[in-house]
Amino acid sequence: MAILTILYFLCGITYVSLGIITFLNDSKNELNKLFSVMAINLALWSFMFFLMNCSRNAKAASDFHLYSAFFWSIFYCIFLNFIIILTNKGAFLKKKFAYIILYLPAIISIYLYVFHTETSQNFVETNLGWAYISSKNKGFIWSNFFNIYWFSYMISVISLLFKWWRNSKIVRERKQAKLILVTTFIVVVAGGITDSLIPMIRRPVMPSIGIIIIVIPVIGVWYSIKKYKLMDLNPENFALEVLKIMSEGLIIANHEGIIKDINKGALELLRYDKSMIINKPINYLFTDKIELSKLTNCSSFEIEVLQSNNNKLSILLSSSVLKDEWGDSLGIVCIFQDISEIKHVQQKLKKSYDELEIKVGERTRELSSSNEELECEISSRIDMEFKIKKLAYYDFLTGLPNRTLFIDRLNQEIFNAALSKSFLGVLFLDLDSFKRINDTMGHAKGDELLKMVSKRLINTMLESDTVCRVGGDEFLILIQNIKNNEEIKTVSEKILTDLKKPFIIDNTDLYITTSIGGSIYPIDGSDVETLIKNADIAMYKAKEKGRNKFELCTEIIKESLVEEMKLTKSLFGAIERNELELFYQPQISLITGKIIGLEALIRWNNTELGMVNPIDFIHIAEKTGLILPIGEWVLKTACRQNKKWQEAGILNVPIAVNISVNQFQNTKIIEDIITILKETGLDPNDLEIEITENIIMKETEYIIESLKQLKQLGVKIAIDDFGTEYSSLNYIKQLPVDKIKIDISFVRGININNKDEAIIKVIIALAKNLELKVIAEGVETKEQIEFLKKEGCDEIQGYYYYKPIPAKKIEELMKKINKSQ
């Protein structure tokens, strides 16, 4: 009993809340007011059942059931009334006796069930509360009238909603109709079973739960109000309240041209009362009927309107269409001003000019001047509207079409291409290193460069093509009627060539490059979004290949993106899932032949993808920022493992760990290394940090200072992949480096390429002169070892001696070595 009693009470509270919220949202709206009345009626019905279920005897339960009969008798009439207005069938209610016919069943129901009620003997107390058992000796009408009444009215509601859903062409209305239709249908089925069928067969005996089930469509209607702005168009929905106070006239009409609101300025100009004009067709005001489409093309024109006293008033009318988020028309906003005085002055000036041209020539010129000013004012208003439209569709800085206009044109051309079965090309351009130009020369010069790039692009392309600035340093180009892949490639190469020519800013030649990605309709997509997205993907592939490149979208590129996204998704959480593992590759002294160090190399063993090569996921980690936690994990794991080996007496050599650019850009890198050394207990002299040359080129002073701090701690520093990047002898001289690592690409050229051998000789000689050690990586043959030993290389690392192996294999290796010694 307690559960059902609580549900009755909660439903009552819910109905009251929804009614109040809806009424306060817009107290002037007819539908809002009717919904609030319906909600309060349902709340009173719920509270009567709540009090009935709280009753201690059948007599009290019978009394409260009697009181509730008034509310459940009238509810279905109110609900049908609400749906009639909602589905735009309100014309029926204007007919004579319409409301009497609509509410007659409620009056009969009240008469039957309020004034000729059952006795307390019809109430049985169940586990859920008081249940009403209908008498069978009251006659067919008394016993079945209410079921016939509520069922027929709910079927009418469903029919109206279904026709509304089927006939409406507005997305918002179809969504509203579908939501209310489904929730109402649920109530008819569930309510028919619980409150009609079960009481008729009397098995099982249970209290009425119809008031609880009805909460479903009521919440559905309320949700539609909140989600889809169910109630009628009103100015508050579009933040137009402020326009009510202006002296110019403002009229708001719905998408059918029916006037829904009008401001004070318009009422004063037209001399109408608001009640006389609301819900009238907008053509009611004009002396000459005009097509509704003329009001929806955002135009300005002169027209005459009729005042309430049938006088004609000349006005300048501007109109604009309001659309909802689905692109459907919500209504029309018309703004107008009285120009009858202007027209009168113009006529008076013309008459004066004809009659008094000689005698009052000077006066006529003054009046003509006034006329010109007035005409200029009207013209300036029209020009202002044009400028506003231009701001909406063109880039403010360059004057090129913006993304909105580009999408519109691309949509049009896709439609045309589909009819003519032709091809379209979409190019996505991104200027390389534009941020560097902004940072070094300032944003004003950067803007000037963007303007010059825009002009050059327009001169490069055909007049039929569309060049658009998306934002920042990104551009989109639409190429029409291309014949094949080679044509779009030829156009792109011409753009690359033209943009490589110098731009002169402040008498200085400025050189830039760009990366271009391309997609073709319909090969790479049949809609705007897909074509732009695929061109964007191809552009990033062009950047990855070295910039100043063109890349056409291919299936391989799309598949690689999907694969990269899959890797990215799996990489998140790899540390927590213990999928990362360190392998260690021994470093050998060319003098003693013994292991004098280890390099820690990361491996990722994913449960779904298997063993993933570092070259496939390190760049993803750098893009996503995961390189920071992964790098910290590598450093901490390598230090902890090395300390473990030292304490176990397995080996005592330095361990080398790679540090990326992103890690060094983290200002806490030094602090993190110090913390890890303290936590693991590893001596700083047993840690070697490997950095690449490109680190030095970014924030040079900060990098050098950071490396010096590490050197003071005792940490060894090596330059990895030496000679492959920006080798600057000046930087090498300043850096506190202990070791230079010869890249594998040079080592593989030994006995094959004389140039690679010459580079190795120069690197070793340079290192010796700077008193630095040299280690060569990727050594795989005896001939390579002999050459490196002959040239004075100190250490080697590669498959000739050992592949990277897990920690456990290192321990087995060292035990084997120690045993043999």
Tell the residue number behind the tokens 């694969």, with chain if given: 563
739, burial (CB in 10 Å: exposed 0-12, middle 13-18, buried 19+): buried
Position 386 scores a pLDDT of: 64
Phi-psi region of 660 (alpha: psi -120 to 50; beta: other; left: phi over 0): beta
- Give helix 30-54 / helix 58-86 axis angle, nearest 10°: 160
Please give the span between the terminal C-alpha atoms of the chain, in angstroms, as a whole number: 88
Instruction: Tell me 399's DSSP state.
Output: -
- In this structure, the number of other CB atoms found within 10 A of the CB of residue 201 comes to 7
Beta strands in 440-570 (DSSP E): 466-471, 474-482, 503-505, 508-510, 514-521, 550-552
Mean pLDDT for 412-418 is 93
Position 727 scores a pLDDT of: 55
466 bridge partner residues: 478
Could you report the per-residue pLDDT of 84-111, keeping only the tens digit for each?
Answer: 988 888 788 888 788 888 899 988 888 8
Which of 210-219, 304-313, 512-521, 570-579 is the most confident on average?
Answer: 512-521
- Give helix 403-420 / helix 361-393 axis angle, nearest 10°: 70
- Candidate from 275-279, 461-465, 467-471 with smallest mean pLDDT: 275-279
Position 410 scores a pLDDT of: 94
Residue 234 and residue 26 in contact, taking contact as beta carbons nearer than 8 Å:
yes
Give the homologous superfamily in CATH for domain 567-814: EAL domain (3.20.20.450)
Could you report the per-residue pLDDT of 713-725, keeping only the tens digit for each?
Answer: 999 999 988 866 5
Could you report the per-residue pLDDT of 117-139, keeping only the tens digit for each?
Answer: 555 556 777 777 777 666 655 55
* String of DSSP letters for 629-693: HHHHHHHHHHHHHHHHHHHHTS----EEEE--HHHHTSTTHHHHHHHHHHHHT--GGGEEEEEEH
Residues 6+ apart with CB under 8 A from 667: none
Topology classification of domain 2-228 = Rhopdopsin 7-helix transmembrane proteins (1.20.1070)
Residue 590 and residue 793 in contact, taking contact as beta carbons nearer than 8 Å:
yes
Assign domain 403-553 to a CATH class: alpha beta
Position 821 scores a pLDDT of: 67
- Does the structure show a pLDDT above 90 at 516? yes
Q: What CATH number does domain 235-338 carry, 3.40.50.1820, 3.40.50.2000, 3.30.450.20, 3.30.505.10?
A: 3.30.450.20
Position 204 scores a pLDDT of: 59
- In this structure, the number of other CB atoms found within 10 A of the CB of residue 180 comes to 25
Mean pLDDT for 771-779 is 94
* Better-scored residue on pLDDT, 72 or 654: 654
337, burial (CB in 10 Å: exposed 0-12, middle 13-18, buried 19+): middle
Q: What is the 3-class SS of 111-149, one letter each residue?
A: HHHHCCCCCHHHEEECCCCEEECCCCCCCHHHHHHHHHH
* DSSP H or E run through 16: helix 2-25
Residues 6+ apart with CB under 8 A from 374: 342, 345, 346
Which of 27-41, 131-145, 240-254 is the most confident on average?
Answer: 27-41
What is the rounded CA–CA span in Å between residue 134 and residue 123?
A: 9
For 661-677, b where at least 16 C-beta lie within 10 A, e where not — what string? bbbbebeebbebbeebb
Domain boundaries, the chain: 2-228, 235-338, 403-553, 567-814
Residue 804 and residue 585 in contact, taking contact as beta carbons nearer than 8 Å:
yes
Confidence of residue 238 (pLDDT cuts 50, 70, 90): very low
Residues 6+ apart with CB under 8 A from 692: 661, 719, 720, 721, 725
Mean pLDDT for 508-522 is 91
Position 237 scores a pLDDT of: 46
- Does the structure show a pLDDT above 80 at 359? no
Position 643 scores a pLDDT of: 96
- Candidate from 300-314, 346-360, 471-485 with smallest mean pLDDT: 346-360
Could you report the per-residue pLDDT of 362-386, keeping only the tens digit for each?
Answer: 777 777 777 787 778 777 777 677 6
